[in-house]
Amino acid sequence: MKQPASLIYTDGICIYISVKVTNPLVGKVVLVLANLMVLFPVILGITEGILAMTLAFGAFFLILLKYTLWNFWGRENIIVNTKSVSYQHEYGVFKTNYTTKNLFGRLVIEYFDNKKEPGCVNCRFISYSETTDIPFEIYTMVFPLSQKDVDKLRTYLDKLFIDHLSDGLGMPHISLN
């Protein structure tokens, strides 16, 4: 897999992370061929009136189609603010609903090197339980980020949470000019 194309930006309230899948052409061709091979028994089942075969291969075709759409047009969207982390997967034709996980006071992002892609870093979002102060995982990103994008994300997170802390303490915002 090539380095995923990512877009990271902020509006001062939220940090938006969008990473697009960039799989090689060979994998995409194999998935299209597999879809066509599974589609043949579906068509045969419909024309011959074999309901069980149509349903079984139809379900398999839909599952395989989801992965094909993901490999062609897949995108992972994440929104981080001081109260929650939301994530969504786009499949080109359809999008899943945003799933929102609340933060209980603090957010830790764990960065670890991607063994398959040198120079890429995976990210895991962690918060702490409000009652027991035990860490729990909120979300692990599907795609790795480049080191440049990770540095940009760290800068945005530091600014977001420092400004949030300043608001809570009644301090003026920190300007890095």
At residue 111, the 3 state secondary structure works out as: strand
Per-residue pLDDT of the chain (177 residues; tens, 9 = 90+): 566 789 999 998 999 999 998 888 999 999 999 999 999 999 999 999 999 999 999 999 999 999 999 999 999 999 999 889 999 999 988 899 999 998 877 788 888 887 777 778 889 999 888 788 888 899 999 888 888 898 999 899 888 877 555 555 555 555 555
Predicted local distance difference test score (pLDDT) of residue 177: 53
d(CA 145, CA 71): 17
The model carries a pTM of: 0.80
- Write down the domain spans for the chain: 5-21+79-169, 25-71
Tokens of residue 74, six digits: 């897949």
